[in-house]
Amino acid sequence: MQTHSVLLFRSGQGEVRMTKVRTEQTGEMRENGLQREGYSVGELLRERGVSRRDFLKFCSTLTAALALPPSFAPSVARALDEVKRPPLVWLEFQGCTGDSEALLRSANPTVGEIVLDILSVDYHETIMAAAGHQAEAALDRTIAEQRGKYFCVIEGSIPMKDGGVYGCVGGKSHLERARQVCGGAAATIAIGTCASYGGIAAAAPNPTGAVGVKEAVPKANVINLPGCPCNADNLTATVVHYLVFSKIPALDSHGRPLFAYGKRIHDNCERRPHFDAGQYVEQWGDDGHRKGHCLYKMGCKGPATFHNCPSQRYNEKTSWPIAAGHPCAGCSEPAFWDVMSPMYNRLPSVPGFGIEHAADAIGLGLAAGAAGAFIVHGALNAMRKDKEPGEDTKEG
Amino acid sequence: MSKIVVDPITRIEGHLRVEAEVSGGKVSNAWVSGTMFRGIEKILQGRDPRDAWFWTQRFCGVCTTVHSIASIRAVEDALKIKVPPNAQLIRNLIIGIQTVQDHVIHFYHLHALDWVDITSGLKADPVRTAQLAASLSPWPNNSATYFKGVQEKLKAFVASGRLGPFANAYWGHPAYLLPPEANLMATAHYLEALEWQKDIIKIHAILGSKNPHPQTFLVGGMSIPIDPDSQNALNADKLIEIKRLLKKAQDFVEQVYMPDLLAVASFYKEWGAIGGGVGNYMCYPEFPDASGNTWLPGGAIMNRDISKVVELDQKKITEHVDHSWYQDAGAGKGLHPYEGATDPNYTGPTPPYDFLDTEKKYSWVKAPRYEEKPMEVGPLSRVLVAYVSGHKETKEAVDMVLAKLGVGPEALFSTLGRTGARGIDCLLIARQAPKWLDELVGNISKGDFHIHANEKWDPATWPAEAHGYGWHEAPRGGLGHWIKIKDRKILNYQAVVPSTWNASPRDASGQAGPYEAALLGTPIADPEKPLEILRTIHSFDPCLACAVHVLDATGRETVQVRVC
């Protein structure tokens, strides 16, 4: 096995090196009887007619999504140039396929590039050509032959009640499949709020005993990417983070990457100046609504929600809920279905509400008020973190 | 006779299993099972009715608008709220582009590989492929250079030795009949459609903040403000972008989807006599205008009788659970959605299992019936009802397709008819959508920025008790939500969903559901590779997360919020 490392940058804390294992994938290609060595992502993109310029542009976008400085773009490009399409299996459990649909909308890279060029998506029921036992065989092959090397993405919650009878595929319960597949994965990505924390199925009274992946399979190496659905840009960025740095990104206390969930919506919100100035929407379609004033009084949960929606937006940065005049529903927070609803009720107990107030005081006041009535152990914990996004990268 | 199991049925939404008996090279009996359950309707009890659209939207992330629409309509019906014309038009645009996008994704990404052998495209001559494509359509990408480029990308992909999602499929199956050039053309359009779908759905991002799961619906209207003089509202800039995207949608449907559909269908005409199903078709009226009339009619066609359309009465809808894993509160009788009362009661085999006990209960999907009859819903029902009702644009489009394929209307009652009707539905809506936009622009020009009926927003204005229902024609067919409200909270909520109708198991009298009935007589060339089963099942465009739910009218559960 040959390892290869590239110096990315030096900081006060030391050097950041990118380390790659180069020969394993090649060995597998030889076993398959192919003459040629494995294609790297960069080579494949060129084969598919993607210009170097477009490739570098794509790397810059990813670098931005990862909350890294622009000077990282060449390093991202170099890493992708060397990585051979890592295998990925995608399992859907108690979900609505919304996260798969989000993947279909991804633009940087597009789903076509993800599926054909960047990853080897060996199992994904919504898009795969094979069905029935042939589909199951494809999954079995990847988890046997690529043990320790494949990514597992899980969409949807896992029902634990009554022996898991509330979700089966191929006659096997979701729990059984999760244990089988997560166990051999390099990393498991729980995509969406259901896979992360149980989501809507786990809302009271949780009829099926639904839980998130980490709770169902505690030993799994899980990265949570909540959101309803997850922003596909955050999925791509997580995978690339792993490829570039050879380790999973730094996570907050809810298992979410800091690069995407390290800041409150409220702190990055384009309407924040209106909050600070006491300018609110009072009624749908009123003057304030038309002028883009703050949606706090209409029930916005942005002050208690950690997510990069304001900067990353959706559908190629076209929009996001607050920009389109609707409150944030808090969908990336654990148990938001219960603790953030009713959707149009404003967050409780905000000291000094309606007058200009120091942002942090309101934020902490909110969380303190919320902690009594709400479950949000997360908001408070995460808010107390003094870690900045990107700090996770400052180690070898 | 042998029993085959296809589980998972892939290239659908959700978890679906088929067990089928095959004798003499044909399916002689079939059972369809939904294998996942969440219980969202039970979770809804006790919550704010104004939130219901946001919850029910999570029934499904594929048809990601439809439950929101049905839900706000149900609450508006219960509270007698009249929606402003602008909100109605914005909803029509959202519904319209959802259907157009959904149908194209279904055709290329979920259904095409049942008819198109991608590996055969590697052998195609790009020059002849370009000639074939040019003979069908003026689409600008129809050059030999273009098809050669696609073919070379495919070759490089195959040479990488990692086939990813295309591994282990039924490639080379004798039921694949397209020549290599048609396979290459369709493969190229599979990739183009993948790019196209993410672009045109930006209409949802503009009007709805994002897709999947747009977030600007409101009971009483929409939350996207209108103001041509604001950068934070629907203004000229955004409207012109919607216009551009609608044009892009229409062009692709007219110049790529429809020509491909007709070309592929011309090689598979025998499928115009396979997969007929229950023969009863139902759809709800859709695309309301300001006066409450709808652009497409609702109604039912019974027993393939296209001489008349039967008027619908929502009171005649019931749901049965004789073969579904729920407690039988109706004691063998179907219950109306307002009255339904059911709790999950799994009696199937302990997983892992090889076969379900199809003599007993075998699915999480219930069995809805209209006047005790199983009904097929979806684009075919929509097109048939409009055709028989004399809807002008529908009649012209159906006659054009039948004439091009050289088949009669009876070919519509089939697997191929279902797939063809989806194309017709898509074409009609893609052509209609720009008219809604023009109307919206007209209203704005006259100074009408109204998007929401505010009078009933405050729950204090509501009666102590109310009930209502909302109908919607989703891409996959007739969707109904029924709600009972008590003390400003949801007392009971029930959704009867397109895939519940179509994927229904047998009822008390043993009547098979539409999928099950449609599979009867399907030829099976190789029981190890039941490609033909996928063709018929996919022709319905299954959506199983929607289909499975639970209702409960036995009092409301207090929502327990954990405090820690």
The domain spanning residue B91 has which CATH number? Answer: 1.10.645.10
Q: Is the predicted pLDDT of residue A36 greater than 70, yes or no?
A: no
pLDDT, average across residues A375-389: 31
pLDDT of residue B284: 98
pLDDT, average across residues A67-75: 73
* Residue A260 belongs to a domain: no
Q: Is B529 left (phi over 0), alpha (psi -120 to 50) or beta?
A: beta
Q: Which residues contact A30 (CB under 8 A, 6 or more apart)?
A: none
- Regarding whether A241 and A358 lie in a shared domain, the answer is no
Q: Is the predicted pLDDT of residue B529 greater than 90, yes or no?
A: yes
Of B39 and B284, more confident: B284
What distance in Å separates residue A130's CA from the closest CA in chain B?
4
Residue by residue, what is the 3-state secondary structure of chain A? CCEEEEEEEEECCEEEEEEEECHHHHHHHHHCCCCCCCCEHHHHHHHCCCCHHHHHHHHHHHHHHCCCCHHHHHHHHHHHHHCECCEEEEEECECCCHHHHHHHCCECCEHHHHHHHHCEEEEECCCCCCCHHHHHHHHHHHHHHCCCCCEEEEECEEECHHHHCCEEECCEEHHHHHHHHHHCCCEEEEEHHHHHHCHHHHCCCCCCCEECHHHHCCCCCEEEECCCCCCHHHHHHHHHHHHHHCCCCCECCCCCEHHHHCCEHHHHCCCHHHHHCCCECCCCCCHHHHCCCECHHHCCCHHHCECCHHHHCECCCCECHHHHCCCCCCCCCCCHHHHCCCCCCCCCCCCCCCCCCCHHHHHHHHHHHHHHHCCCHHHHHHHHCCCCCCHHHCCC
Q: Is the predicted pLDDT of residue A20 greater than 50, yes or no?
A: no
| Residues A101 and B197 sit within 8 Å (Cβ to Cβ) | no
pLDDT of residue B99: 98
* Residue B344 belongs to a domain: no
Q: Is the predicted pLDDT of residue B255 greater than 80, yes or no?
A: yes
What distance in Å separates residue B110's CA from the closest CA in chain A?
7
Domain count within chain B: 1
pLDDT of residue A245: 85
- Regarding whether A188 and A281 lie in a shared domain, the answer is no
Condensed to tens digits (0 to 9), the pLDDT of residues B457-505 reads: 999 999 999 999 999 999 999 999 999 999 999 999 999 999 999 999 9
pLDDT, average across residues B218-246: 98
Q: Which residues of B touch A164 (CB under 8 A)?
A: 351
pLDDT of residue B247: 98
pLDDT, average across residues B239-251: 98
Tell which of B43, B110, B162, B456 to mutate to test the A interface (max A CBs under 10 Å).
B162
The 8 Å CB, 24+ separation contacts for A350-354 are: A350/A303, A353/A296, A354/A278
Q: Is the predicted pLDDT of residue A201 greater than 70, yes or no?
A: yes
Which B positions 188-217 lie with beta carbon below 8 A of chain A? 191, 194-195, 197-198, 201-202, 204-213, 215-216
* Residue B110 belongs to a domain: yes
Chain-chain contact of A102 with B212 (C-beta, under 8 angstroms): yes
Q: Which residues of B touch A171 (CB under 8 A)?
A: 5, 7, 351-354
pLDDT, average across residues A366-379: 34
Chain-chain contact of B215 with A105 (C-beta, under 8 angstroms): no
pLDDT of residue B302: 98
pLDDT of residue A31: 26
Q: Which residues of A touch B50 (CB under 8 A)?
A: 342-344
pLDDT of residue A39: 55
Does the CB of B14 have a partner CB in chain A at under 8 Å?
yes
Q: Is the predicted pLDDT of residue A353 greater than 60, yes or no?
A: no
pLDDT confidence tier of residue A356, bands split at 50, 70 and 90: very low
Q: Is the predicted pLDDT of residue A27 greater than 50, yes or no?
A: no
Which B positions 501-530 lie with beta carbon below 8 A of chain A? 529-530
Which B positions 384-413 lie with beta carbon below 8 A of chain A? none
Nearest to B402 by CA among B420, B384, B388: B420
pLDDT of residue A59: 75
| Residues B411 and B323 sit within 8 Å (Cβ to Cβ) | no
- Regarding whether A210 and A65 lie in a shared domain, the answer is yes
Q: Which residues of B touch A200 (CB under 8 A)?
A: 38, 40, 43, 55, 58
Percent with pLDDT over 70 in chain B: 97
Which of B205, B350, B564 is the closest to A314 by Cβ? Answer: B205
- Regarding whether A171 and A297 lie in a shared domain, the answer is no
- Rounded distance between C-alpha atoms, residue B406 and residue B404, angstroms: 6
pLDDT confidence tier of residue A49, bands split at 50, 70 and 90: low
Task: Identify the domain containing residue A297 by its residue range.
Answer: 265-384
pLDDT confidence tier of residue B314, bands split at 50, 70 and 90: very high
| Residues B306 and B390 sit within 8 Å (Cβ to Cβ) | no
Q: Which residues of A touch B41 (CB under 8 A)?
A: none
- Rounded distance between C-alpha atoms, residue B8 and residue B5, angstroms: 9
pLDDT of residue A347: 85
What distance in Å separates residue A271's CA from the closest CA in chain B?
10
pLDDT of residue A361: 44
* Residue A395 belongs to a domain: no
- Regarding whether A298 and A220 lie in a shared domain, the answer is no
Which B positions 341-380 lie with beta carbon below 8 A of chain A? 344, 346, 348, 350-354, 364
Q: Is the predicted pLDDT of residue B341 greater than 80, yes or no?
A: no
- Regarding whether A294 and A218 lie in a shared domain, the answer is no
- Regarding whether A306 and A163 lie in a shared domain, the answer is no
Question: By three-state DSSP, how is residue B563 classified?
Answer: coil
pLDDT, average across residues B387-400: 98
Q: Which residues of B touch A291 (CB under 8 A)?
A: 227, 230, 232-233
Q: Which residue of B has its CA nearest to A230?
A: B212
Which of A104, A169, A339 is the closest to B8 by Cβ? Answer: A169
Q: Which residues of A touch B111 (CB under 8 A)?
A: none
pLDDT confidence tier of residue A71, bands split at 50, 70 and 90: confident
Condensed to tens digits (0 to 9), the pLDDT of residues A270-320 reads: 999 999 999 999 999 999 999 999 999 999 999 999 999 999 999 999 999
For the annotated catalytic residues of B, the residue numbers are 13, 60, 63, 67, 476, 499, 543, 546
pLDDT confidence tier of residue A47, bands split at 50, 70 and 90: low
pLDDT, average across residues B96-120: 97
Chain-chain contact of B36 with A166 (C-beta, under 8 angstroms): yes
- Rounded distance between C-alpha atoms, residue B501 and residue B369, angstroms: 8
Percent with pLDDT over 90 in chain A: 58
- Regarding whether A312 and A367 lie in a shared domain, the answer is yes
Chain-chain contact of B224 with A325 (C-beta, under 8 angstroms): yes
Q: Is the predicted pLDDT of residue B79 greater than 90, yes or no?
A: yes
Least confident of A369-378, B320-329, B513-522: A369-378
Q: Which residues of B touch A290 (CB under 8 A)?
A: 225-227, 230, 232-233, 449
Q: Is the predicted pLDDT of residue A366 greater than 60, yes or no?
A: no
The count of CB pairs under 8 A between chains A and B is 357
Tally the C-alpha atoms within 13 A of residue B453's C-alpha that lie toward its C-beta: 16
Condensed to tens digits (0 to 9), the pLDDT of residues A215-249 reads: 999 999 999 999 999 998 999 899 888 878 888 99
pLDDT of residue B23: 94
pLDDT of residue A50: 67
* Residue B281 belongs to a domain: yes
Chain-chain contact of B211 with A204 (C-beta, under 8 angstroms): no
Domain count within chain A: 2
Nearest to B373 by CA among B460, B282, B450, B291: B282
Domain boundary (A248, A274, A293) is at: A248
- Rounded distance between C-alpha atoms, residue A65 and residue B172, angstroms: 42
A339 residue type, one letter:
V
* Residue B240 belongs to a domain: yes
pLDDT of residue B398: 98
pLDDT of residue A74: 75
- Rounded distance between C-alpha atoms, residue B148 and residue B135, angstroms: 18
| Residues A258 and A249 sit within 8 Å (Cβ to Cβ) | yes
* Residue B406 belongs to a domain: yes
Chain-chain contact of B160 with A44 (C-beta, under 8 angstroms): yes
Transcribe B369-435 into DSSP letters: EETTB--B-SHHHHHHHHHHHT-HHHHHHHHHHHHHHT--GGGGSSHHHHHHHHHHHHHHHHHHHHH
Does the CB of B307 have a partner CB in chain A at under 8 Å?
no
pLDDT of residue B288: 97
What distance in Å separates residue A358's CA from the closest CA in chain B?
25
pLDDT of residue A64: 73
* Residue B103 belongs to a domain: yes
Chain-chain contact of B454 with A119 (C-beta, under 8 angstroms): no
Q: Is the predicted pLDDT of residue A364 greater than 80, yes or no?
A: no
Least confident of A300-304, A318-322, A383-387, B129-133: A383-387
pLDDT confidence tier of residue A380, bands split at 50, 70 and 90: very low
* Residue A253 belongs to a domain: no
Domain boundary (A204, A219, A248) is at: A248
Q: Is the predicted pLDDT of residue A46 greater than 90, yes or no?
A: no
* Residue B303 belongs to a domain: yes
pLDDT of residue A374: 31
pLDDT of residue A81: 65
Q: Is the predicted pLDDT of residue B229 greater than 90, yes or no?
A: yes
Q: Which residues of A touch B160 (CB under 8 A)?
A: 38-39, 44, 85
Least confident of B161-165, B168-172, B201-205, B410-414: B161-165
Q: Which residue of B has its CA nearest to A85?
A: B162
Task: Identify the domain containing residue B270 by its residue range.
Answer: 42-312+363-491
pLDDT confidence tier of residue A386, bands split at 50, 70 and 90: very low
- Rounded distance between C-alpha atoms, residue A126 and residue A143, angstroms: 19
Q: Is the predicted pLDDT of residue A8 greater than 60, yes or no?
A: no
pLDDT confidence tier of residue A58, bands split at 50, 70 and 90: confident
Domain boundary (A248, A280, A296) is at: A248
Which of A38, A130, A157 is the closest to B168 by Cβ? Answer: A130
Chain-chain contact of A166 with B37 (C-beta, under 8 angstroms): yes
Condensed to tens digits (0 to 9), the pLDDT of residues A131-167 reads: 999 999 999 999 999 999 999 999 999 999 999 999 9
Percent with pLDDT over 90 in chain B: 90
Nearest to A284 by CA among A293, A275, A272: A293
Of A111 and B453, more confident: B453
Q: Which residue of A has its CA nearest to B326?
A: A166
Which of B48, B58, B564 is the closest to A375 by Cβ? Answer: B564
Sign of CA dihedral A51, A53, A54, A55: positive
Q: Which residues of B touch A338 (CB under 8 A)?
A: 559, 561-562
pLDDT confidence tier of residue A6, bands split at 50, 70 and 90: very low
pLDDT of residue B96: 98
pLDDT of residue B316: 97
- Regarding whether A286 and A241 lie in a shared domain, the answer is no
pLDDT of residue B312: 98
pLDDT of residue A244: 82
Output the domain CATH number for residue A321. Answer: 4.10.480.10
Tell which of B4, B10, B342 to mutate to test the A interface (max A CBs under 10 Å).
B10
- Regarding whether A323 and A202 lie in a shared domain, the answer is no
Q: Find where tokens 């505690």 sit.
A: A218
Which of B42, B170, B351 is the closest to A176 by Cβ? Answer: B351
pLDDT of residue A167: 95
Tell which of A157, A326, A337 to mutate to test the B interface (max B CBs under 10 Å).
A326
Q: Which residues of B touch A336 (CB under 8 A)?
A: none
pLDDT of residue A57: 75
pLDDT of residue B110: 97
Q: Is the predicted pLDDT of residue A341 greater than 80, yes or no?
A: yes
pLDDT confidence tier of residue A129, bands split at 50, 70 and 90: very high
Q: Is the predicted pLDDT of residue B419 greater than 70, yes or no?
A: yes
pLDDT confidence tier of residue B342, bands split at 50, 70 and 90: low
B132: its two tokens: 């074939």
Q: What is the mean pLDDT of chain B?
A: 94
- Regarding whether A305 and A231 lie in a shared domain, the answer is no
